[in-house]
Amino acid sequence: MTGMDLFANLPGLLLAVPLIFAFATPLIGRYLPRARDGWVLLGMVLTTVIGLLIASAVFTGGTVAYTFGVPDPSVTVPPDSGGIPVRIIFNIDAMSAFMVVIAVVTGLCVMLYSLSAASRSSGKDGYYTLFLLLVAGVLGMVCTGDLFNFFVFLEIASLAGAALVAFRVDKGIAIEAGLKYAMLSTIGGLFFLLGVALLFGQYNTLNIAFLAERMGTTGLTTPDAVALVLFVTALAMKCGAVPMHFWAPDAYAMAPAAVTAFLVVSSQASLYALFRICFSLYGQTLNTVLLGWFIIILGLLSMFIGVTMAILQKDVKRLMAYHAVSQTGYMLLGVGVGLAVLSSPLLLSNFGMMAMEGGIFHIMNHAFYKGLLFLTAGVIFYRCGTRNLNDLGGLGHSMKWTMLFFIIGALAIAGIPPFNGFASKLMIYESVFSFNPLLSIIAMVVSILTLASFVKVFHSIFMGPKRPEFADVTEAPLPMLFGMGVLSILVILFGIFPEQVVEVMVAPAASALADQAGYIGSVMGGA
């Protein structure tokens, strides 16, 4: 295989590498246990390199369409297929590439952190196998251009995620949380599959681009509308939107911290799919105002109920989980406004695109600062053995680096300048204000409440005199600090240079999402 062949097959390798490393991990763990950590780290590093190479190719050269099982993977529609893309296709446009960057960067930081965090646990072979499967599932979800294929990756990610939530058993509480996550994911997945079946029954195809093209000519039928509802509610539930968010605090709180940090990315992959379905599959064929407002209302509920429930919590991870729900609301709000004005080119250019860019930028920012915050919570639990805010205190004396990383994450999530959360929230506030000032005001109030909530966490964990029961507590191990440090640097850099990130990644992602014709053309045009 030449270098060019290898480069042309990168999308296939993006999936194959984490899967191969995942399935080989139990063997390595059995016969070469000392090499296991290096093996899984190598797998994640390779996946990251491949993901970043693909993203770079997409951001510089445009959409990459990759067909599986053919000599020339760029041929999406075989000459003898009657113009139908019959094979499984990865259609990686700027929006998909954006999600790939989030998944691989967060995945690598989490893997580095896990090397220390999981060191005391038994069953590390299973842990790493499941984690790499979760990474593969998420990457498949954000790259695929095929609805059934998406369902398969959704199931891979859900099952691996549920098993990881239950990984630490914890007197059965973690198992209960894992069971809830698995049950809801399965029911949601089956509803999604029912929607896929409704579309397949009508159009005899599963390819999103081809379906969008056919739907554009036939118009929205009743089965299309039913399928849309099944897709939207299943994915909104999977991304933790209120009032279908109840699983999130249970699962996020009980999973090991490293897993929780990546479960956030897994939820965001569902959010990506929700946007992909609304914009690229249905697009102009549906009533975008109605659906846009539905997403906006979900966003408002998520923001407000998420943050007000967070203020009550005494378990630091449960508190952060409610904040994850709340922050998802910002993304739903931004992109929902873009969807609501999609049919009006004037409004879309005036503020709709900016709202979408803000919402999309917030996905990446959230993955980094929320991942960082969950990792700091994990360090606290690793060193102190409790997550209860009433029991913690005075750790600022002995965990200065962890405290610094926590401050960076907390200021970023509260939208305090110059951290990355401020930049994306500013874009959302100002653009959404033009759409409806009340929505923007609610978003700002939620940010203030977020800050208040994290002041409470900061005070409870780090402030006050050193407590006798934590007299022996020391700073986190180096790999954990390194994982948190990388995320902290990203939080700062993306806050200091937001325009560069928006120009290179966010604006192309928002444009790709809004450009349904471009998405269809990248597959049907044989690009």
CA distance 231 to 233: 6
Judged by CB under 8 A, the residue of 389, 490, 491, 524 near other proteins is 389
Interface with other proteins, residue 250, by CB under 8 A: yes
**230 interacts with other proteins by CB under 8 A:** yes
Do the Cβ atoms of 98 and 364 come closer than 8 Å? yes
Alpha helices in 350-419 (DSSP H): 353-384, 400-413
d(CA 465, CA 207): 61
Count residues near other proteins (CB under 8 A): 70
Joined together, the tokens standing for residue 67 give 């067909």
Of 227, 229, 247, the closest CA to residue 237 belongs to: 247
Which residues in the 459-488 window bind other proteins by CB under 8 A? 459-460, 464-468
Q: Coil, strand, or helix at residue 188? A: helix
Measured at the alpha carbon of residue 360, what is the angle toward residues 259 and 128, in degrees to the nearest 5? Answer: 20
270 touches other proteins by CB under 8 A: no
Q: Is 191 in the site for other proteins (CB under 8 A)?
A: yes
432 binds other proteins (CB under 8 A): no
Q: How many degrees, rounded to 5, is the angle at CA 20 between CA 14 and CA 23?
A: 135
**Does 77 contact other proteins by CB under 8 A?**
no
Residue of the chain from 119, 204, 218, 500 that contacts other proteins (CB under 8 A):
500
φ/ψ region of 415 (left if φ > 0, alpha if ψ in -120 to 50, else beta) reads left
Cα–Cα distance between 527 and 514 in angstroms, integer? 19
CA-based radius of gyration for the chain: 22
Q: Any contact of residue 179 with other proteins (CB under 8 A)?
A: yes
Residues 18 and 136: their CA atoms lie apart, in Å, by 6
What is the distance between the alpha carbons of residues 346 and 521, in angstroms, rounded to a whole number? 24
By CB under 8 A, the residues from 398 to 417 that bind other proteins are 417
Rounded CA-CA distance 375/394 in Å is 19
Q: Of 2, 217, 222, 474, which one interacts with other proteins (CB under 8 A)?
A: 222
If one asks whether residue 87 binds other proteins (CB under 8 A), the answer comes out as no
Q: Which is nearer to other proteins, 343 or 434 (CB)?
A: 434
Q: Is 233 in the site for other proteins (CB under 8 A)?
A: yes
Q: Does 217 bind other proteins (CB under 8 A)?
A: no
Q: Does 422 bind other proteins (CB under 8 A)?
A: yes
Q: Output 81 or 500, the one with its CB closest to other proteins.
A: 500
Cα distance between residue 248 and residue 167, in whole Å: 16
- Nearest CA-CA partner of 325 in 245, 253, 385: 245
Site string for other proteins, 435-464 (x = CB under 8 A): -----------------x---xx-xx---x
Q: Which pair of tokens denotes residue 285?
A: 């064929």
- Interaction mask 123-162, other proteins, x per CB under 8 A: ----------------------------------------
Per-residue binding letters, 294-313, with other proteins (x by CB under 8 A):
x----------x--xx-xx-
Give the CA-trace dihedral at 3, 65, 342, 507, to 10 degrees: 0
Q: Give me the least distance between CB of 190 and other proteins, in Å please.
A: 12
User: Cβ 213 to other proteins, closest distance in Å?
Assistant: 22
The residue ranges that bind other proteins (CB under 8 A) are: 179-180, 183-184, 187-188, 191, 222, 225-226, 228-230, 232-233, 236-237, 243-244, 246-247, 249-250, 287, 290-291, 294, 305, 308-309, 311-312, 314, 350-351, 354, 358, 389-394, 417-418, 422-423, 426-427, 430-431, 433-434, 452, 456-457, 459-460, 464-468, 495-500, 502
